Structure formats: C-alpha cells, structure tokens
Amino acid sequence: MRQPLVAGNWKMNGSKAFVAELLMGIKASSGGIQATELAVCAPFPYLYLLEELLAGTPIRYGAQDVAFENDGAFTGQVSVKMLKDFGCHYVIIGHSERRQFNAETDAMIARKYAQAIANELTPILCVGESLTERQQGQTEAIVARHLDAVIELNGVDALAKGVIAYEPVWAIGTGLTATPEQAQEVHAFLRTRIAAHSQPVASQVRILYGGSMKSNNALELIMQPDIDGGLIGGASLKADEFLAICQAGDAAVKATAV
C-alpha cells in the first residue's frame, strides 16, 4: 500500500487567530498518527504562520495555487520560489474552484505543474467532473483530459513527482460523497491511463479522493485499492475531524497489513 496522505485545503477561510488555534489543535493530537502523512494548504497570507508553528513537526504544508511564471510583471501572482521561501512542500494545482471562478485552463494548469516540479515543490493536481458531465457519461473523458494535459507538457515521469486528487465537483462542499465504488472506479481509470505510459509511475503515484470526505466515510474510501488518502475541504477546518480522517488513514494501513 502507498503511504496515505491526508491534506487539508482550507480554501478562503481563516484569520491569524483561527489559523493559530487550528494548528495548535492539530499539533496537540497528531502524535498518535503513525502511518499517514499530514499536510495543510493555507491561504497565502498565513503561510508565515505555518512556517513558524509547524517548525520541527512532521506536518507538511503548502499553498492552494501558484503562478506559471517564475517572476516579473504578473500583478497579484505568487511564484513557486516564493512558496519555497516560506517552506512550502505542496501546492494544489487545478482545483475545480480555480478552473470555474478563475478561468484556469488545462494549458495553464500544465504550466503551473511544470513550474512546481522544476523547483521541487510537490503539486497536488486536481481532476474531476461536474454533475452534468457525470450525468452525460463524460466522467472518464473529463478526468482523462485533465490528466493528459499535464502528461503532454511534462511527460509521464513528472507525475511521480506529484500527487493527483480526484475531486468530483458535485461532491465538493455538498455533503454528497461519491460512494467508495464510484470513487474507486475513477481512481482505477486514472491509474490504468497512467500505466499505459509507465507502469512504475502508475504504481507509485498517490491518488487522493476529495469531496465531502469526513471522519464517518474516510475509512471505507481509503480502504479502496486505488485511493491513497484525501484532499479535505470543510472537514479540515476542525482539528478533531481532520485528525479523525488521518486516523482512518492509519486504520486502512493497519487493515491492509494484516
């Protein structure tokens, strides 16, 4: 089994006080998590707090977006180098909310992916279909398009330097979770598609599930053979709930080892 990763995506939530309290809560109880990797992805202004408060802990952190250029006249953008300057390990790329509200295209996302790996920042590449696309039977075509854009620009080996997150748009923040079978089906499709280019990369790359993952459904999702953890939105804003999902990662490892 690949090591599970449970990453929180705080989205546009928080304040200095909220972030400090949440991190203290996560730090206080994360010692019991043995086999699962923990990470949190914060809004840019709070990265300095993560650098300060997570120093000396195994908890990794990152941002939720990055520019596809390194520096220069790009008002409002934040570069990979800047994220590295604050000790970031991860960056979320191509989240559906950025595709939807910021008109990010597959080409832009592929370039962001390239910038991240060129600077040894680990991208978490999000792919996923909308409800209409699922109802029209286009799920596989959509996630394939999202994945292929990154492979075409960066080569398949680049996927081994990142993480993929399957996030069905209809399950994000809606309380509607994909069933373990629905999620596994898409995860297996993605892995098979990668295997057509490289079996070693397909075996190695972690594919997270995201979309209303909570403590009460995490275990059965992470127990699926091609689901390697979660990208958690709402439930990552409560330390207890987030840690309970991390514990589900540990429980999945334990159950698989038996």
Q: Which residues are annotated as a binding site for substrate?
A: 9-11, 173, 212, 233-234
Active-site residue, 21 included? no
Site track 131-160 with ligand G3H (rule: CB under 6 A), x = hit: ------------------------------
Determine whether 89 is an active site residue. no
Inter-residue contact 91 to 122 (CB < 8 Å): yes
234 near ligand G3H, rule: CB under 6 A: yes
Options 43-51, 73-81, 200-208, 227-235: segment touching ligand G3H (CB under 6 A) = 227-235
* Residue numbers 164-223 binding ligand G3H by CB under 6 A: 167, 172-173, 210-213
> Minimum CB separation from ligand G3H for residue 56, in Å?
27
Mark the binding-site residues, compressed into ranges. Answer: 9-11, 173, 212, 233-234
Name the residue type at position 138.
Q
Name the DSSP class of 54: T
By the rule CB under 6 A, 224 interacts with ligand G3H: no
Minimum CB separation of residue 7 from ligand G3H in Å reads: 8
**C-alpha neighbours within 13 Å on the C-beta side of residue 105:** 2
46 alpha carbon, distance to own chain's centre: 18
Element (H, E) at 119: none
Residue 11 structure tokens: 């989205």
- Residues 3, 250 contacting (CB under 8 angstroms): no
Minimal distance, residue 169 CB to ligand G3H, in Å: 9
* Residues 84-103: x where in contact with ligand G3H by CB under 6 A, - otherwise, as a string: -----------x--------
H helices of 91-179, in order, are: 96-101, 106-118, 131-135, 139-154
Q: How far apart are CA 213 and CA 230, in angstroms?
A: 7
Closest approach of Cβ 11 to ligand G3H, in Å? 7
Q: Burial code of 239-252, b = ≥16 C-beta within 10 A, e = fewer?
A: bebbbbbbbbbbbb
Closer to ligand G3H at the Cβ: 4 or 211? 211
Q: How far is the CB of 126 from ligand G3H (least distance, A)?
A: 7
Query: Can you list the alpha helix ranges (DSSP code H) found in the chain?
Result: 16-29, 47-53, 80-85, 96-101, 106-118, 131-135, 139-154, 180-195, 199-204, 218-222, 239-257
Number of residues that bind ligand G3H (CB under 6 A): 14
Task: Tell me if 231 contacts ligand G3H by CB under 6 A.
Answer: yes
Q: Does residue 229 touch ligand G3H according to CB under 6 A? A: no
Residues with a catalytic annotation lie at 95, 167
Binding site for ligand G3H (CB under 6 A): 9, 95, 167, 172-173, 210-213, 231-235
